[in-house]
Amino acid sequence: MNKQKLKTAFIIWLSIYPLITLVFYFFGKDLLLIPLPLRTLIITAVLVPVMVFIMVPLITKLMNRLFKW
């Protein structure tokens, strides 16, 4: 398996796990009141931009500093 793909997958996982956990911790009960397709649309509309523009670059910088990737 490609080493770069493994790094990318790890960085994405490190970014998405805390975000999803926080969303469900703070808004889980409210989100259950919304139909599943709309709930999924709302969550992805918020989390994907946060992932792409904030979390992945932040985690990438952190990992580069810590591990000299």
pTM over 0.95? The answer is no
pLDDT at 10 over 80: yes
The count of structural domains within the chain is 1
d(CA 45, CA 8): 21
At residue 17, the pLDDT reads 95
Query: Which residues form the domain of 8?
Result: 3-67
Which residue from 40, 50, 53, 45 is spatially nearest to 19, judged by alpha carbons?
A: 50
d(CA 11, CA 37): 27
